Structure 1
């Protein structure tokens, strides 16, 4: 029997009302997604596709318009008490560590903030030291009195991760966790996330636009386009044999790719004006090349929305 996922979303929607009479924007549009215990899932896609909104809805920071989020086999409660208890078990790691840390707080105060808010029977100093050590800042006492401006970018990101670890969570949601770091430091932070999974059984949802990052860290990959998951599956399957033309286009521009680069024309459509048919069809290289016509699905691509992807596979008429 397959174990129940640690985190799940079913039919999740987040719709933002339009301003000054504009139509509402469907930032997240019917998403099903799971993260298993001890699993790292990469959520990838272009900027503006809804990744960060989805991540925040999964954490209870954005209220879904429809659908359900569950954790540990139970639907997520919406009361302040239920959300506070949940956020101890599921922690957010932001992209910019400089923005996430209060410049007036020492490292000790930054890491101790979570335990102080949520309470706990453990010794605070020991909890802070253990969290810093697990995040790779050793000896931890050396960093207690430092301020963020005295640290490198990589060290600041480790402090942010330590602040999450101080609550002993089961899940990290990391939104572009290495995007603001130098290339030489990115590998260290990714290796840290893998070590935390292996040593602590920690699960992670890593939000990124970088498929190379997903290749290095993820057990599974979910590809998002215009509010929907359009392809999902084991990382090796999605990244070596992609089925959706959007995934193929994203992979083709990686430096190590053997495929000719696919230049996507135009920007992703406005989520308040989602086109009819497949929402990717106006930018689809398979449709433009005539392959969809030869396969007999071009008409469906232009007029029929593919079914919402549930589980693994690709939401694409051609695939």
Structure 2
């Protein structure tokens, strides 16, 4: 992507310098994953599906990390494994330096500190429960001993539903899509977590409401010091909200770094292809060829080589044999910019 086109991405999306100045915290990671693998058995004799196939990832205190990739690349499985909802086949997850334990009691305590916000608020909320009961559910599960009404009101207010008492007795069908998503966010906030994992948090919302929810997440980070992992296929959303971005393809992170470095100077051909389809980029859209990713048939060498536009063009001929045969290492989960690409690292990009 050219420098002019790179600037145009932020400007045309109305972002300006939205990402400028946001850097990862210098403190140790709040949540970290090392060598994470999640494998599911194949059906009817098919090979097992390697949904997450070796991932290192860190999320610092007060940091927002965007996990980006097309459908089926393993984003949601990775997010759920970080929350203890899916037990990894191998590898480890640690929270504040302590390995995650999978006993019932340990997971219950952990889920009070790390909460999930799902994509579809209509599916997340029980249509027979009032807003009050939906938000209070977490408090009741965890045996909250304080003032439940005050806690629910505070969570709704922080989520932007004011005055909160007006919403106590409403049902989900009486709310707009944006209001329902705010109720889901309030249900996560009521337990005062340190980390939120938001899986496509605005995908089901109208464009006019998306900005409000993104602004809310940023405000919660600033006011409460919340960390967040935002799972998305939307690179514009990543630019708007994230400090750091990790691009995932076929079970593994293939490029990572600050949002500015990755989205304005993409090094991996897959990241370049994702960005090229944005009208604001000014680039000719890259149409990926070949079969969609299949986690049960991960190719040798670079897992993207069968669809790589640079390899197909012949430009990467000097390293073509490495692309097809030589396995790339797992990228570091920290804040430094890194790319898993034989061609990019040949050109002197730090990997």
Q: TM-score range by the shorter chain?
A: over 0.9
Structure-1 residue corresponding to 2:322: 300
Match of 1:78 among 102, 124, 128: 102
Q: Distance in 2 between matches of 1:215 and 1:226?
A: 22
Q: Distance in 2 between matches of 1:123 and 1:99?
A: 28
2:131 is the alignment partner of 1:107 = yes
Structure-1 residue corresponding to 2:339: 314
Cα distance per residue 1:7-63 (max 9 Å; x no partner): 000000000011221110000001000100000000000000000000000000001
Are the equivalent residues in 1 in contact too, given 2:73–2:293 (CA < 8 A)? no
TM normalised by structure 1 equals 0.98
Match of 1:139 among 163, 181, 184: 163
Unaligned runs of 5+ in 2: 1-24, 345-351
Structure-2 residue corresponding to 1:250: 274
Counterpart mapping for 1:265-284 below 5 A: 265-284=289-308
Are the equivalent residues in 2 in contact too, given 1:226–1:268 (CA < 8 A)? no
Cα distance per residue 1:120-169 (max 9 Å; x no partner): 23200000000000000000000000000000000000000000000000
Cα distance per residue 1:220-252 (max 9 Å; x no partner): 000000000000000000000011000000011
Match of 1:157 among 174, 181, 184: 181
Match of 1:171 among 195, 206, 223: 195
Counterpart mapping for 1:102-251 below 5 A: 102-251=126-275
Structure-1 residue corresponding to 2:21: none
Are the equivalent residues in 2 in contact too, given 1:269–1:275 (CA < 8 A)? no
TM normalised by structure 2 equals 0.89
Are the equivalent residues in 2 in contact too, given 1:105–1:147 (CA < 8 A)? yes
2:46 is the alignment partner of 1:22 = yes
Q: Distance in 1 between matches of 2:332 and 2:282?
A: 30
Structure-1 residue corresponding to 2:55: 31
Q: Distance in 1 between matches of 2:156 and 2:50?
A: 39
Are the equivalent residues in 1 in contact too, given 2:131–2:167 (CA < 8 A)? yes
Return the offset for 1:259: 1.7
- 175-184 or 252-261: which moved more? 252-261
- 115-124 or 127-136: which moved more? 115-124
Q: Distance in 2 between matches of 1:229 and 1:268?
A: 17
Q: Distance in 1 between matches of 2:293 and 2:129?
A: 42
Q: Distance in 2 between matches of 1:182 and 1:221?
A: 24
Unaligned runs of 5+ in 1: none
Structure 1 runs (4+) greater than 3 angstroms displaced:
none
Q: Distance in 1 between matches of 2:42 and 2:159?
A: 42
Structure-2 residue corresponding to 1:264: 288
Structure-2 residue corresponding to 1:59: 83
The RMSD of aligned alpha carbons is 1.0
Q: Distance in 2 between matches of 1:292 and 1:219?
A: 31
Return the offset for 1:2: 4.2
Structure-2 residue corresponding to 1:96: 120
